[in-house]
Chain A
């Protein structure tokens, strides 16, 4: 029964990971950029919401109406000032420049807010504590369910946006070939900026849930980035629903690991990630060999 419970909690935790990961996966899969400042952006959003709640007494959920556009704007600036320039310099340069950016962000937050850990949980009533009984001893937290639901809504909307709308198609076209897109009258730079804005907006929402479900401090960005990256890669980079599946797998592995040992949470998560990489590489090699033999008539 304990194990069933751990799996259930892990699945719900995976909803949160998918939320942090979807912006990263979207940027990586569509725009071919890994934004290493993604976690730091989520934490910045958490601090913004905390200030709004603590100083002005506004609920974090209302605060998001201010912070999401703000982070979307930051995304546009980030794309124009840093990512666009780095991509022209080579595939590896964005990794270096966004890593530098995350160091700047984390330490600016530290300089402003100090080392205290904070949480948004006190500002949202009893949502963090309430739970629904499911079966026997198993309870699911309302907050975890809300997080999972939001995650599905965000991923669903981005998927629909990308596949059904004019702008979504323009973004995907820009990712494939910006020069040809420009000839059709679409501004590829604007589309790339729009994509970045969407990605950072999702980071803003993820930051809110990070701050509600746990505590955070100025250096919380790095672990969020690592979890997000794991979920994105496990699920297959660029596939948004895959990212949700990846997040769920990661969450389940972590909560089962946590049941075994106090360090098990992290170890099981990272080990699962490496195992998936290993398996994927092996299967890919098998597939390529099979295809080679098939095409050359040896099979």
Chain B
């Protein structure tokens, strides 16, 4: 019987080890509120926000080739929606969830408009949309212009309960989003968007539904930014339009993804972790810290375009998330040198 000596697989030892280690880590993170101090919990929630921001941007730019400088649109809008809904009397955690849904639904018509644009026009078009949203939100009396307002409804919880609840919400959200991200890039959409990124016309001519694939990723990225915005509001409590609609959020996303490794799953998390540590150590330097962020964005985009994880992956062939297919030789075929 003629049987191929080669087979295609995603299951590699590092991927299995990675999966097991990740499960342990998740269990450990789930128990964190029982073990860690309040300030550590807040820091971890911040890390979750960074991972979400990096995930959305990496899906959009790294996999779909859509560079946006306006993801703060969804970040700010969902925070604003939470304020608005909570002000209208909705229970605060329900308002947080509803805001993500509202912003996700809002991203659908936005995608109709913006996905017509290409490359640089899309990038800055998104930025302008975010600016427009910022000034329209300023018109709402509840926000009190640039002065801002607070999510007072959270004050009904005691500090400890509040921190633990927000932490668990953050953990659950980041796991859900990473899960969807992995599902997207491992599945048909992942193939389609990477084909589009590499050559849109060629992909189209092969029958890839380019607009659908792009829209899916665009919506995913919007939901990532929206979830991050809601959680940031929950930890920061105060809502100032200028901060939430600031372009610095996108600068952070770009830094995390470029440094961690564009178009890699592991690089997204690694980039967020690096950014988190960099901010912890260099944040107090203020302006010089920002200069460093900008300079590393230039350095990585020009000199190390694959980022830290990209280099690791290409050197060691490591794939902890089982995203890539590999060709393996079957055992007998390998030993005998001929098909069994």
Bound form: Cα–Cα A72–B132 in Å? 33
Bound form: Cα–Cα A86–B296 in Å? 14
Question: Distance in Å from the Cβ of B329 to the closest Cβ of chain A?
Answer: 35
Question: Distance in Å from the Cβ of A274 to the closest Cβ of chain B?
Answer: 7
Of residues 210 through 258 on chain A, the ones whose CB sits less than 8 Å from some CB of chain B are: 222, 226, 229-230, 233, 237
Bound form: Cα–Cα A63–B26 in Å? 61
Known: A103-B251, A277-B117. A108 touches B302 (CB 8 A): no
Q: A100 at the A/B interface (Cβ < 8 Å)?
A: yes
Q: A191 at the A/B interface (Cβ < 8 Å)?
A: no
Residues of A within 8 A of B132 (CB): 266-267, 270-271, 274
Complex contact A100–B298 (CB within 8 A): yes
Complex contact A103–B291 (CB within 8 A): yes
Residues of B within 8 A of A85 (CB): 302
A90 nearest CB neighbor, chain B only: B305
Of residues 89 through 131 on chain A, the ones whose CB sits less than 8 Å from some CB of chain B are: 89, 91-93, 95-97, 99-104, 107-108, 110-111
Complex contact A97–B298 (CB within 8 A): yes
Of residues 262 through 281 on chain A, the ones whose CB sits less than 8 Å from some CB of chain B are: 263, 266-267, 270-271, 273-274, 277-278, 281
Q: B20 at the A/B interface (Cβ < 8 Å)?
A: no
Known: A100-B297, A102-B294. A89 touches B138 (CB 8 A): no
Question: Distance in Å from the Cβ of A43 to the closest Cβ of chain B?
Answer: 15
Q: A167 at the A/B interface (Cβ < 8 Å)?
A: no
**Could you give, for residues 38-69 of chain A, a 1 whenever the CB lies within 8 Å of some chain B CB and a 0 otherwise?**
00000000000000000000000000000000
Complex contact B113–A107 (CB within 8 A): no
Bound form: Cα–Cα A96–B247 in Å? 13
Residues of B within 8 A of A274 (CB): 113, 125, 128-129, 132
Complex contact B124–A99 (CB within 8 A): no
Question: Distance in Å from the Cβ of A109 to the closest Cβ of chain B?
Answer: 10
Q: Which of A96, A108, A226, A263 contacts B297 (CB 8 A)?
A: A96
Q: A28 at the A/B interface (Cβ < 8 Å)?
A: yes
**Could you give, for residues 296-320 of chain B, a 1 whenever the CB lies within 8 Å of some chain A CB and a 0 otherwise?**
1110011001000000000000000
Q: A82 at the A/B interface (Cβ < 8 Å)?
A: yes
Interface size class on chain A is: 35 or more
Q: A34 at the A/B interface (Cβ < 8 Å)?
A: yes
- Interface size on B (CB < 8 Å)? 39
Q: How many A-B residue pairs have CB under 8 A?
A: 115
Q: B290 at the A/B interface (Cβ < 8 Å)?
A: yes
Known: A82-B298, A104-B294. A267 touches B135 (CB 8 A): yes
Q: B35 at the A/B interface (Cβ < 8 Å)?
A: no
Q: Which of B120, B128, B293, B294 contacts A28 (CB 8 A)?
A: B120
Residues of B within 8 A of A107 (CB): 287-288, 290-291, 294
Complex contact A273–B120 (CB within 8 A): no
Complex contact B301–A89 (CB within 8 A): yes
Q: Which of A91, A96, A261 contacts B301 (CB 8 A)?
A: A96
Complex contact A104–B67 (CB within 8 A): no
Other A-B pairs, 17, CB within 8 Å; known A28-B120, A34-B120, A103-B294: A86-B302, A89-B302, A91-B119, A93-B305, A96-B67, A96-B297, A97-B297, A99-B251, A100-B295, A104-B295, A107-B288, A111-B288, A266-B131, A274-B113, A274-B129, A277-B116, A278-B113
Q: Which residues of B contact A (CB under 8 A)?
A: 61, 65, 67, 69, 113, 116-117, 119-121, 123-125, 127-129, 131-132, 135-136, 138-139, 247, 251, 254, 258, 287-288, 290-291, 293-298, 301-302, 305
25 A-B pairs within 8 Å (CB atoms) are namely A34-B123, A92-B61, A96-B67, A96-B254, A96-B301, A97-B297, A97-B301, A99-B69, A101-B294, A103-B293, A103-B297, A107-B288, A110-B287, A226-B128, A226-B131, A229-B124, A229-B128, A263-B136, A267-B136, A270-B128, A270-B129, A273-B128, A278-B113, A281-B113, A281-B116
